[in-house]
Amino acid sequence: MPKAPTPPRIALAAAVETTIDWHGYLVFGATTVPVFNPLFPAVGSGAAVP
Query: Which amino acid is it at 41?
Result: P
User: Are 3 and 25 a contacting pair, CB within 8 Å?
Assistant: no
Q: Are the C-beta atoms of residues 28 and 22 closer than 8 Å to each other?
A: no
Q: Within 10 A of 25 (CB to CB), how many other CB atoms are there?
A: 23
Q: How far is CA 25 from CA 3, 4, 36, 47, in A?
A: 29, 29, 11, 9
- The answer to pTM > 0.75 is no
Is the pLDDT at 27 greater than 50? The verdict is no
> Which carries the bigger pLDDT value, residue 41 or residue 5?
5
